């Protein structure tokens, strides 16, 4: 550490430039992961925050709500099965909310109508107003982002292409589905909206899209065997089955993977070049009696200090960027994610410097004598 810090102090410019490269890399990694996280939250937060363990879909629906349709009568049977502690049906349709009769662009907002049983474990906790109540079937609790679009508590809004109107009785937070705000209503109200066209329920009694299950030790195969025509998956798998979710996440993860791989090479080359420049010095130190371990520690501690400070600056810059980003930008940086990517970056930097350490072990102290004979 002694030599590492002394050298920083003496060659400020050189290390400052490498730090800049590293800071930019870290910054980009954090921004990208924040955007990815924000996007996947926007796509699936209702599913991610749901207090369910397993989901029963219709067979052949590829774990997708929009492709699945089954009867709620199955829920009663499912509840009898081993390890199932509770069941609750759910239906989702995408639609558009319209404030009043206006035709202005800003008065139409895409929403996801989510039908649930009021008071069931699927109902999220409200942060304003009150929860769903069986007494008020057209009452809805909506994600608080709708407030930014001008929807207030007690407002009544129309649905585009439907005669139904809904009244906001409460707000919830972190509830989005398929990139739009979730609007929770009772199952009966949802059915009116989803199956407005005659025959669209395929004649299934009490139709729902899926049945959510609670129970830690549920074996999906048991459920499938007992309920013909169903397909049971974990909540995680159901999240993956959301339209576009996998693809979106896949692109972001791909970008991050490339970014991290490229930064490993870039940093590795930088450290290597710096080490090469100091071959002679390392030779002298070896001649005086420095071991490979001593010199290796010099390099590693240098890379460690450099990486750590770059990552910290990168984190600060990221939070700064997040503060000035437009509100609609789906950017969500969790502390967990920051820690994970910081550790990954640190490990990558240290690994990439190992090539330089290897180089040191090959330096011949005889070079230090500066003679060729």
Measured CA to CA in angstroms, residue 304 lies from 243, 301, 344, 352 at distances of: 42, 5, 13, 11
Q: Of 2, 80, 103, 202, which one interacts with other proteins (CB under 8 A)? A: 2
Query: Collapsing DSSP states into helix, strand and coil, what is residue 338?
Result: helix
279 part of the interface to other proteins, by CB under 8 A: no
Cβ nearer to other proteins, comparing 5 with 253 = 5
Cβ nearer to other proteins, comparing 167 with 281 = 281
Q: Of 59, 281, 301, 321, which one interacts with other proteins (CB under 8 A)? A: 281
Quick one: which segment of 58-66, 166-174, 216-224, 281-289 binds other proteins (CB under 8 A)?
A: 281-289
Q: Of 28, 94, 287, 350, which one interacts with other proteins (CB under 8 A)? A: 287
Check: CB of residue 333 under 8 Å from CB of residue 319. Answer: yes
17 part of the interface to other proteins, by CB under 8 A: no
Q: Of 11, 73, 156, 251, which one interacts with other proteins (CB under 8 A)? A: 11
Cβ nearer to other proteins, comparing 198 with 370 = 370
CA distance 301 to 4: 7
Site string for other proteins, 289-308 (x = CB under 8 A): xxx--x--------------
Nearest to 249 by CA among 49, 96, 32: 32
Q: Looking only at residues 174 through 233 of this chain, which bind other proteins when binding is defined by CB under 8 A?
A: none
DSSP secondary structure, 189-230, as one string: HHHHHHT-STTTTTT-SSEESEEEEE-TT--HHHHHHHSTTE
DSSP H helical ranges for 126-194: 145-148, 187-194
Crossing angle of helices 12-48 and 335-361, in 10° steps, is 140
Cβ nearer to other proteins, comparing 216 with 371 = 371
Quick one: which segment of 97-105, 184-192, 285-293, 335-343 binds other proteins (CB under 8 A)?
A: 285-293
Q: Of 13, 197, 288, 335, which one interacts with other proteins (CB under 8 A)? A: 288
CA 297, 275, 265: angle at the middle one, nearest 5? Answer: 95
362 part of the interface to other proteins, by CB under 8 A: no
Cβ nearer to other proteins, comparing 3 with 196 = 3
Cβ nearer to other proteins, comparing 27 with 282 = 282
Cβ at position 45, least distance to other proteins in Å = 52
CA 52 from chain center: how many Å? Answer: 18
Residue 262 DSSP symbol: H
Residue with tokens 């206006």: 102
Helices (H) and strands (E) in the chain, counts: 11, 13
Query: Collapsing DSSP states into helix, strand and coil, what is residue 72?
Result: coil
Cβ at position 290, least distance to other proteins in Å = 5
The residues that touch other proteins, with contacts defined as CB under 8 A, are: 2-3, 6-7, 9-11, 281, 284-291, 294, 365-366, 368-371, 373
């Amino acid at each position: 550490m002694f030599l590492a810090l002394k050298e920083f102090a003496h060659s400020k410019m050189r290390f400052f430039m490498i730090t800049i490269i590293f800071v930019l890399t870290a910054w980009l990694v954090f921004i990208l992961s924040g955007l990815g996280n924000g996007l996947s939250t926007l796509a699936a937060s209702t599913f991610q925050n749901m207090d369910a363990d397993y989901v029963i879909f219709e067979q052949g629906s590829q774990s997708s709500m929009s492709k699945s349709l089954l009867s709620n009568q199955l829920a009663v049977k499912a509840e009898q099965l081993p390890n199932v502690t509770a069941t609750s049906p759910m239906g989702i349709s995408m639609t558009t909310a319209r404030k009043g009769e206006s035709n202005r662009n800003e008065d139409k907002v895409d929403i996801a109508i989510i039908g649930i049983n009021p008071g069931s474990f699927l109902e999220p906790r409200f942060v304003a107003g009150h929860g769903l109540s069986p007494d008020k079937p057209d009452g809805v609790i909506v994600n608080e982002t709708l407030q930014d679009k001008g929807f207030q508590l007690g407002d009544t809004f129309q649905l585009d292409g439907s005669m139904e109107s809904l009244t906001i009785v409460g707000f919830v937070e972190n509830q989005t589905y398929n990139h739009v705000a979730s609007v929770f209503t009772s199952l009966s109200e949802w059915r009116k909206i989803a199956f407005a066209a005659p025959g669209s329920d395929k004649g299934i009694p009490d139709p729902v899209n899926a049945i959510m299950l609670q129970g830690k030790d549920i074996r999906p195969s048991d459920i499938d065997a007992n309920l013909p025509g169903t397909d049971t998956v974990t909540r995680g798998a159901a999240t993956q089955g959301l339209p576009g979710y996998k693809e979106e996440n896949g692109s972001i993860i791909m970008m991050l993977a490339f970014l991290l791989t490229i930064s490993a090479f870039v940093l590795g080359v930088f450290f290597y070049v710096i080490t090469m420049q100091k071959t002679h010095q390392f030779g002298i130190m070896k001649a005086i009696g420095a071991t490979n371990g001593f010199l290796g520690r010099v390099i590693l501690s240098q890379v460690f200090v450099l990486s750590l400070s770059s990552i910290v600056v990168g984190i600060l810059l990221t939070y700064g960027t997040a503060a000035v980003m437009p509100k609609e930008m789906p950017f969500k940086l969790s502390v967990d994610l920051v820690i994970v990517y910081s550790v990954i970056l640190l490990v990558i930097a240290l690994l990439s410097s190992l090539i330089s350490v290897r180089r040191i072990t090959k330096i011949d102290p005889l070079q230090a004598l500066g003679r060729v004979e």
